[in-house]
């Protein structure tokens, strides 16, 4: 979550330094409206891939992926705390679990569409025969 109030001079300087470094590398900088954790997620993702991996048309989805990743961590922590402290009713826990599952499904969907989720990197369904460890052919491949 973003801190409330004005940013300190050190925070502004650190953010400016990070933006200059990513711009020097040719990487798309995190949008200014993302909070600190979301911007870290953006930088971590963008820095792992070639410069041209994320064209401008994918930025809105990448922004939402970063927001959902941070939100998912917060929801998970809240759910675990409620489970451990026994402070929530069964209905509240079920609602929290449902929200968490929806967030994770959307996050996974964005990851696949952006091309960096595990399912999009390898597997039988992506025409990558070397990536399967199954020595037996599928029943229809006999």
Say yes or no to pLDDT of 78 above 80: yes
Burial of 88 (0-12, 13-18, 19+ CB in 10 A): middle
Show the DSSP H helices in the chain as ranges. 9-25, 36-46, 59-85, 90-114, 118-121
The length of the chain is 142
Residue 105: pLDDT band by 50, 70, 90 thresholds? very high
Among 65-69, 75-79, 81-85, 125-129, where is mean pLDDT lowest? Answer: 125-129
Say yes or no to pLDDT of 81 above 70: yes
Token pair 């939100």 in the structure block, residue: 71
For residue 95, the model assigns a pLDDT of 92
Say yes or no to pLDDT of 108 above 80: yes
Angle (CA) 120 124 130, round 5°? 100
Say yes or no to pLDDT of 24 above 50: no
Asked if residue 4 lies in contact with residue 35, where contact means CB atoms within 8 angstroms, the answer is: no
What span, in angstroms and rounded, lies between the C-alpha atoms of 70 and 74?
6
Say yes or no to pLDDT of 122 above 80: no
Asked if residue 2 lies in contact with residue 35, where contact means CB atoms within 8 angstroms, the answer is: yes
Domain range summary for the chain, segments of one domain joined by +: 59-115
Say yes or no to pLDDT of 124 above 90: no
Asked if residue 19 lies in contact with residue 46, where contact means CB atoms within 8 angstroms, the answer is: no
Residue 83 vs residue 101, higher pLDDT:
101
Helix axes 59-85, 36-46, angle to 10 degrees: 120
Query: Can you tell me the mean pLDDT for 66-91?
Result: 89
Residue 60: pLDDT band by 50, 70, 90 thresholds? very high
């Amino acid at each position: 979550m973003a801190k409330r109030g004005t940013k300190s001079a050190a925070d502004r300087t650190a953010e400016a330094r990070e933006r200059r470094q990513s711009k020097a590398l040719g990487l798309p900088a995190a949008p200014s409206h993302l909070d600190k954790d979301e911007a870290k997620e953006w930088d971590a993702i963008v820095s792992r891939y070639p410069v041209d991996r994320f064209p401008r048309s994918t930025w809105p989805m990448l922004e939402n992926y970063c927001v959902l990743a941070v939100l998912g961590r917060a929801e998970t922590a809240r759910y675990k705390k409620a489970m451990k402290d026994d402070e929530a009713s069964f209905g509240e826990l079920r609602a929290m679990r449902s929200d968490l599952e929806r967030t994770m499904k959307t996050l996974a969907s964005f990851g696949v569409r952006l091309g960096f989720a595990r399912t999009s990197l390898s597997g039988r369904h992506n025409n990558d025969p070397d990536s399967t460890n199954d020595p037996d052919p599928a029943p229809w491949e006999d």
